[in-house]
Structure 1
Amino acid sequence: MIRWDRVGQCAAYGAALALAPYLLIKVSWVAGSLAGLLPVGAGFGKAEWVVLNSATIGMAGIGIAVALALVRPWGMRIPGAPFVFCAWVGTGFLVPVLPYAVFSSFPGPADDGRETGTDPGPSMPDWEAALVQFGCVGMGLGLALALPAYLRRRWPDAFAGRLGRGGRETSGAPPWRVVVGVTVGLVWLYWAVGGTVAVARPGERDFAWSTLSGLLGFWALVASGATWAVLGGRPAGVPRWGPMVLGWLGSGSLFAWSGWKLPFTLYLAVAQPADATLPEDLALAAVLHLAAVGAGAAMLRALLRARKPSRGPRRAHG
């Protein structure tokens, strides 16, 4: 375990360093647009552009703080609830879509992110785009390696044991959060494979939009299945850490990505800019994102409540 802790320590510092250029680039975008030196993104006025990128500056700052908290002594003393929330959102944003982020860093059909709603930006030089992509990939990989080591140190009983005994929901019907997660995931997968129902602008679909929809749909199903397994204690004998980790990542993906895309979708529905569109029907997309946010939050709450209690008295860290 000492070796794993060392790997997590290096990964955490690496994640913080990888995201630092992204933070500086976003600060330069805001400062440059306010000074009239840099253009704003397609479909945005200056005020909307500054608000959008100020939000990403805050997110990057929190991400760097979370990465450092995973290895610094003060990280074991900070309140557990806000830390868990920030780490959950960060891993939900980055880890489930690492294949997409890596693939889209190469020239090809995934380069054009205008309609994905992920992070529309002004035209960037190649070196700047590479740093932005490197920051996201580096942070995702760093969290994936460093967070488990931290959780093992702070809450060693959270992932202990096996499924079977102690299932809180043993009825045959899946809970509402699982049903909602499966429904949202199936719709996204349907769109990803070329379905056209509720796609208002089929011609606007591109490879990046379809790939991201497919990944998010896949993780919605993973989150639903893992949450149901933990709550029901099935299949018996499976180590709890597996479905707990998958439920953590999948529910975080539901909450983080839909929480990010919901205001963007609402903005497009209200402002209706001519140079920024989404392929899907905006009203349905907003409903799906709202449902995903609620289901993701409910899944995390259920997973935390299903955490295996400690076998003996132990000093709580938060």
Structure 2
Amino acid sequence: MNFTTANSTTTAPATPGGVRALGWLAAAGTLPYLTLKIGWLAGGTAGVRDPGFLADPAIVAANAVTFAMDLVVIGLALALTHRWGDRLPVWLVLLPVWVGTGFLVPMVVSIMPAITVETLSGGLHSTAFEPWLQPLVYGGFAWQGVFLCAAFAAHSVRRWSRVVTASTPPAAGLVPFLRVVTAGGCVMAAASALLHLVAGLASGSAVALGVESVSGALAVAGAAGVVALVRARPTGRWAAVAAAWAGSAAMFAWGLYTVTVRMTTTALSGGSDPAAGAAQVTGLLGGFALAFAGMIALVGAGESRRG
């Protein structure tokens, strides 16, 4: 079965209006962030207490990059919910959506709820930003996360349902390599989950503990999902794919973000305790390994599924 053409789209009708609406709703969630970025790049200082912060060349570059990334989200949202998106190469869809949903899923399930609790309790303080900025930005991210994930789910069911539900074991020659990669990914995921928990306990904050616990749970879910796929169990395939996808993506995306930020010398690269940093590094490694293993388990079952 060819992965790119599992479901033919040459004569397929247009996607239902409800599915297309998911794409437009996801795109709408980028508007608050894009508006801020345009203002900042044009020299504005809305929401920022220290204008010098935005003048830092590294921050200017980061604002330009993240502005472009939100434009990519709009393109992905529309591609996932329109038939022309079915003709795009698999890697051009899966890779950015994997990283994007990995960043956005924690926004939905832990970070935005934490921001809401801190805002309502009066515990949200920042010397760099106005109080309204973080709820607005993170609220937009959470909105994107909900509708982009829903759009991707609809796209996946339509385009790759037969690939996901097939439970043929991988080709015999791939099995030893697959076991090694899966084991390595699971070890890194377990280490990341434990370190997240340690970081949350060390923070002394119930809200921070909640956020770190969710990150740890996503790491465990990612490992469990990949193990289920590797074992080629015929039942619960969609649940295993969802767990593997969300867990590995969250580990990788936030690990990559944290490592990138820590490499800069801006105000965003403020200190972090060793457990939190190690949790992200192990998550970066484990997320990549688990994603690789999960993909092999799904599409590595011999010559007939070479695509």
Question: With structure 1 as the length reference, what TM-score do the two structures score?
Answer: 0.75
Q: Give 1:144 deviation, angstroms.
A: 2.0
Residue 310 to residue 172, structure 1, CA distance change in 2 (3 Å): closer
Provide the residue aligned with 1:54 in structure 2.
64
| RMSD (Å) for aligned C-alpha atoms | 3.7
| Bigger shift: residues 151-160 or 62-71 | 151-160
Distance in 2, Cα, partners of 1:105 & 1:41: 28
Supply the distance in 1 between the matched residues of 2:100 and 2:266 (Cα, whole angstroms). 30
How much does 1:46 deviate?
1.3
Determine the C-alpha separation between the residues in 2 that align with 1:81 and 1:224: 22
Equivalent residues of 2:189, 2:223 under 8 A apart: yes
| Aligned mate of 1:148, from 146, 153, 157 | 153
Deviation at 1:38, TM superposition (A): 7.3
Asked if residue 189 in structure 1 is aligned to residue 189 in structure 2, the reply is no
Q: Per-residue displacement from partner, 1:195-244 (whole Å, max 9, x unpaired)?
A: x4xxxxx5xx64554332222111111111111221133xx443211111
Q: Are residues 1:252 and 2:260 paired? A: no
Query: 1:208/1:143 Cα in 2 relative to 1: closer, same or farther (>3 Å)?
Result: same
1:135 aligns with 2:140: yes
- Is 2:17 the partner of 1:13? no
The alpha-carbon deviation at position 74 of structure 1 amounts to 2.4
SS at 2:273 equivalent = coil
Is 1:166 aligned to residue 163 of structure 2?
no
Shift in CA distance, 92/109, structure 1 to aligned 2, threshold 3 Å: farther
In 1, are the aligned partners of 2:30 and 2:74 still within 8 Å (CA)? yes
- Partner residue of 1:99? 109
Cα distance, 1:82 vs. partner?
A: 2.3
Give the match for residue 288 of structure 2.
297
Pairs within 5 Å for 1:9-48: 9-32=20-43, 39-40=50-51, 46-48=56-58
> Is the CA contact (8 Å cut-off) linking 1:188 and 1:217 kept in structure 2?
yes
> Counterparts of 2:207 and 2:125 in 1: how far apart (Å)?
7
1:124 maps to what in 2? 130
Counterpart Cα distance in 2 of 1:111 and 1:133:
16
One-letter amino acid matched to 2:59? W
Report the residue type matching 1:50 in the other structure.
Answer: V
Give the SS at the match of 2:106. Answer: coil
Match of 2:124 among 87, 109, 112: 112
Aligned equivalents of 1:68, 1:172: Cα separation in 2 = 37
2:79 to 58, 69, 88: 69
What secondary structure sits across from 2:162 in the alignment?
Answer: coil
After superposition, what is the alpha-carbon deviation per residue over 1:175-208, rounded to whole angstroms, capped at 9, x for unaligned?
A: 111111111111102222x1x4xxxxx5xx6455
1:51 Cα offset (Å): 2.1
CA distance in 1, matches of 2:284, 2:108: 20
Q: Report the AA paired with residue 83 of structure 2.
A: P
Gapped regions of structure 2 (runs ≥ 5): 1-12
Matches within 5 A, 1:236-251: 236-251=233-248
CA contact (8 A) 1:40 1:46 kept: no
The percent of aligned pairs where both chains have the same amino acid is: 22
- Structure 1 residues 208 and 88: CA distance shift in structure 2, 3 A: same
- Counterpart of 2:215 in structure 1 is 216
CA distance, structure 2, for counterparts of residue 237 and residue 290 of structure 1: 33
Look up the equivalent residue of 1:112 and give its one-letter code: L
Mapped partners of 1:182, 1:129: distance in 2 = 31
Q: Give the structure 1 partner of residue 273 of structure 2.
A: 280
CA contact (8 A) 2:103 2:249 kept: yes
The equivalent of 1:176 in structure 2 is 184
C-alpha contact 2:182 2:289 (8 A) present in aligned 1: no
